[in-house]
Amino acid sequence: MIRVLLVDDQHLIRAGLRMLCDAQPDIEVVGEADNGRDAVTLAAQLVPDVVVMDLRMPGVDGITATGRILADRPATRVLVLTTFGDDDHLYPALTAGACGFLLKDAPPGDLVDGVRRAAAGGSPFSEEVLQRLVRRAVHARAEPPRPVAGLTAREQDVLALVAEGLSNTEIADRLHIGVTTVKTHITSLMTKTDSPNRVRLALFARGG
């Protein structure tokens, strides 16, 4: 059972998220908070597997709360669910340790899948956010991808294409392999490079 803490200052949003999660046989909502300060307290008390975190809240915001939660319990997965997909919100949250970012207008199934992926150690992103972040990070650096010791030839190929900002489907098409195989290589690359998510992996490849 995946234990989830919901954090959002809007009661209707939390109620909707709770209904969605409660309908899943493998997800249990163990608590709710309407501000970052209470989120930090409840995360310590309830020990959730995943915290679904809003960013803009009164008092302690979601970015600050994310950093405090992970400083106390690094194994907790914080999944940002936000209306604000701009860089001013996403990059600070990523730096604070959030494992993924979903937009509030995403289909309900994407949120459920995101919670499961976060709990399993993945990095769920809304597709448009992921591609924009990766491409923006890559284009900010003119250097070619750096070689990394200990990688297979295929992993080096995949890493170079991640550094270019390509999606899994685009990488699969370019290398003539399956999307599932691409995902396997990326998981391996994240482990070998100690990158918590795809954006960090792209930055790593670019020497950032």
Specify the CATH number for the domain of residue 99.
3.40.50.2300
Structure-token match 């937009």, residue found? 103
In a domain, 146, yes or no: yes
Domain of residue 196, residue span: 142-205
Please check whether residue 124 is in contact with residue 102, taking contact to mean a CB–CB distance below 8 angstroms: yes
In a domain, 133, yes or no: no
Of 96, 71, 155, which Cα lies nearest the Cα of 79? Answer: 96
**How many C-beta atoms surround the C-beta of residue 39 within 10 A?**
30
Is 59 found in the same domain as 6? yes
Please check whether residue 34 is in contact with residue 9, taking contact to mean a CB–CB distance below 8 angstroms: yes
Q: What does 170-185 look like in DSSP terms, one character per residue?
A: HHHHHHT--HHHHHHH
pTM: 0.69
Is 105 found in the same domain as 33? yes
Is 117 found in the same domain as 77? yes
Structure-token match 């995943």, residue found? 50
Number of domains in the chain: 2
Length of the chain: 208
> What are the counts of helices (DSSP H) followed by strands (DSSP E) for the chain?
10, 5
Read off the amino acid at residue 40: V
In a domain, 121, yes or no: yes
Residue 204 DSSP symbol: H
Check which CATH number belongs to the domain holding 163 and give it.
1.10.10.10
In a domain, 136, yes or no: no
Is 150 found in the same domain as 95? no
Please check whether residue 117 is in contact with residue 2, taking contact to mean a CB–CB distance below 8 angstroms: no
Is 165 found in the same domain as 78? no
Is 116 found in the same domain as 164? no
Strand ranges in 25-157 using DSSP code E only, listed in sequence order: 27-33, 50-53, 77-82, 100-103
Is 163 found in the same domain as 94? no
In a domain, 86, yes or no: yes
The pLDDT tens digits along the chain (208 residues) read: 999 999 999 999 999 999 999 999 999 999 999 999 999 999 999 999 999 999 999 889 999 999 999 999 999 999 999 887 666 777 788 888 998 889 888 889 999 999 998 998 888 888 777 776 666 655 555 455 556 678 898 998 998 888 777 778 888 999 999 988 998 998 899 888 888 777 778 777 766 5
Is 109 found in the same domain as 18? yes
Is 182 found in the same domain as 111? no
In a domain, 148, yes or no: yes
Is 78 found in the same domain as 19? yes
Is 119 found in the same domain as 22? yes
